[in-house]
């Protein structure tokens, strides 16, 4: 069984939020193909640790459920509207870095956001 401290859990949550924020603000579109303009809130609902495949040096989380309240650009470019988006990340892997004595996300550019909004 892998034991996770409160500090490690907070770091994981903050790292995931940072990556999701960058992805949303980097040209992500909602189900109506409107580009995200800004994020008002980002909530991580479920961050399960994959106990079977995690160990002392590797933490694997997933699937991760995320809810975001955002503003989107209207198509004509003449304003913004609010929207809610439900997202999922299938898996995120963190490796322990012995130099910094902390867990660092592995391949952050390969994290994929899936829009689960109905």
Within a domain: 39: yes
From 81, 70, 23, 20, select the one nearest 45 (Cα to Cα). Answer: 20
pLDDT band for position 77 (cuts 50, 70, 90): confident
Within a domain: 30: yes
Q: For 79-106, what is each residue's pLDDT tens digit?
A: 999 999 999 999 999 999 999 888 999 9
Task: Tell me whether strands 80-89 and 64-73 are parallel, antiparallel or unpaired.
Answer: antiparallel
Domain extent at residue 25: 6-115
Within a domain: 1: no
User: For 37-50, what is the mean pLDDT?
Assistant: 94
- The pTM of the full predicted model, rounded to 2 decimals, is 0.89
Domain count along the chain: 1
Residue 82: CB atoms within 10 A of its CB come to 11
CA distance 107 to 93: 8
CA distance 81 to 85: 13
């Amino acid at each position: 069984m892998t034991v996770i401290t409160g500090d490690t859990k907070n770091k994981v949550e903050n790292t995931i939020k940072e990556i999701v924020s960058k992805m949303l603000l980097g040209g992500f579109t909602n189900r109506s193909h409107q580009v995200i303009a800004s994020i008002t809130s980002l909530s991580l609902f479920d961050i399960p640790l994959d106990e079977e495949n995690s160990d002392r040096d590797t933490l694997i989380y997933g699937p991760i459920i995320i809810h975001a309240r955002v503003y989107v650009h209207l198509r004509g470019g003449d304003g913004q509207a609010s929207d809610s988006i439900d997202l999922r990340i299938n898996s995120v892997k963190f490796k322990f870095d012995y130099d910094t004595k902390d867990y660092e996300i592995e391949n952050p550019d390969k994290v994929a956001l899936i829009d689960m909004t109905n």
